[in-house]
Amino acid sequence: MIKIEKAIALIDGEHYISVIKAALEGIEKNLGYEILAAVLIGGTEKLLREDDLNVLGIPIILNADPLRGIREAIQNYRPKIVIDLSDEPILGYRERFQLASLVLAWGVSYLGADFRFDPPRYYQLAKKPSISIIGTGKRVGKTAISAYTARLFKKMGLEPIVVAMGRGGPEKPEILEGDKIKINPQFLLQASQEGKHAASDYFEDALMSQVKTIGCRRCGGGIAGSPFITNVLLGAELANKLEGKIIIFEGSGASIPPVKTDRTVMVIGANQPIEYIASYMGPYRLILSHLVILAMCEEPMANSEKIKSFEDRIKKINSRLKVIRTIFRPYPLESLEGEKVFLATTSSSLAREKIRSYLEETFNCQVVGISNNLSNRKILSEELKVYEGKYTVLLTELKAAAVDIVTKVGLDLGVRVVYGDNVPIWVGGDDDLDASLLSLAQEAVKSFSQRR
C-alpha cells in the first residue's frame, strides 16, 4: 500500500502492548498511513515497564500532559494527521475536543475510531492588510463590533473595506459604497422588494459606518467554523481591486471567513455558556485569535463572577490574549428629540428596561413600546399593530425583519423610520477598546509588510 499520509499515534497503557502493535500495523497496512511516532498519554495498567514500548519499533514520546505531548510530536515530526488510539478514562469527550482544537490549530487532521476533524482552510488572498472579526455564535455583536471598528479605522485614515459573510448575502459578491450612496428606508425597502435581504450584515455595515462594503453569502457551518459553501473568496478578490488600506472580514454566526488574515478579533457574549469557549472548538478559535472582546458584561446578562470565569478560561487557553469588556447601547442615526418611540430589537428582553432608560435619558424621547422579537416576524407584526397610533417614530436595528416588516409598516403609515446602531462601550479589561483595535491594525499592517 502506498503511504498517503504521515501520521503520529496517541496510545495509552490501558491497552496491552500487543494490541497497540496490532492496531498500528493494521493502520499502516489497511489505511495507508505511515506512523512516524507515538505519544503515550497516560495509563499504565497493562504496561509492566517502559521497555515494553520498544516492541512498537517507533519513537515514543512520554508526557503526562497530553497537550504538551502532542504539541512536541507535531513540532518534531510534522505529521499530516494525528490518529487517536486512546479511550476513556485517559481521554474523555472534553479532553478530546481540547486536543482537537490544538491539533487543528497546527493545521493537522485528527482521526479516531468514529470521527475525523480536518483543519479549516484559509486562503492567502488578501492583497492589503486584513483583520477577521469572528464570534462564538449569532447575536454576540460581531456586526456591531465590525461597524465600530470600520468607523474607528476610517477616522484614523485607514480607509477600511468591509467584507461581510452572511446567511442572507447575495448570489454574487455585491459592493455597497456606503461612503457615497444614501441608504434610507426607501432604498432598503426597494432592495427588499427586489428579492435581496436588505437587513443583511453588509447593508448594516454600509449604513452604520459609511464605508465600502462587500456582501457575500454562506450556507452551513462546521464545528471548527468552516462554512459549507461561500462566495467570500470572490469577495476578497473584489476587495483587492477597491481603493482602501485595510480589509475587515466579518464572520457569520460561529463561521469563520476562509481567508487568511493578518490578525483576528474574537467576539464572545458573556451571556453564553462558558463551555462555548472552554470546550468543543472554542479553544481552537481562541488559539487563532489576537484579541478578545467580551460583550454584554453587565447584569442581568452576566454577573461579575461569570465574567471573571470567562477571562480566566480564556487566559488559560491562550495567555497572550487581551480581553476587553464591553456593553452595547443603542445609538439612533437620527434625532429622537421629543418623539414617542417604538423600538424593535433583537436584544434580550432581560435588558429591556436598561435600554428604555438609556434611550429616554440620552436622546430625550419617550419609549412607548419595545419589541424584542425583531427576528420573529409573526409576533413582531402583532406587536406593531397593538402599538399603532401610540408612536411617532419606529426605531429599529437593521437586522432580521427590520426592512420587510418594520420599515414597510412605517412607510405605509407615514411614520418616520429611524435605524439604530448598537455601540460597544468599554467597561474594563486589559486595555482600552479603541487603543486595542488600533494597535491590532498596526500589527496587521506590519505583518502584511513582512509577507510582501
pLDDT of residue 1: 43
Percent of the chain with pLDDT over 70: 97
- Three-state SS string over the chain comes to CCCCEEEEEEECCCCCHHHHHHHHHHHHHHHCEEEEEEEECCCCCCCCCHHHHHHHCCCEEECCCHHHHHHHHHHHHCCCEEEECCCCCCCCHHHHHHHHHHHHHCCCEEECCCCEECCCCCECCCCCCEEEEEECCCCCCHHHHHHHHHHHHHHCCCCEEEEEEECCCCCCCEEEECCCCCCCHHHHHHHHHCCCCCCCHHHHHHHHHCCEEEEEEEEEECCCCCEEEECHHHHHHHHHHCCCCEEEEECECCECCCECCCEEEEEEECCCCCHHHHCCCHHHHHHHCCEEEEECCCCCCCCHHHHHHHHHHHHHHCCCCEEEEEEEEEEECCCCCCCEEEEECCCCHHHHHHHHHHHHHHHCCEEEEEECCCCCHHHHHHHHHHCCCCCCEEEEECCCCHHHHHHHHHHHHCCEEEEEEEEEEEEEECCCHHHHHHHHHHHHHHHHHHHC
pLDDT of residue 94: 85
Q: Which residues does the chain have with pLDDT short of 50? A: 1, 48
What are the chain's domains?
5-117 (3.40.50.2000), 130-329+426-451 (3.40.50.300), 330-423 (3.40.50.2300)
pLDDT of residue 438: 97
pLDDT of residue 377: 93
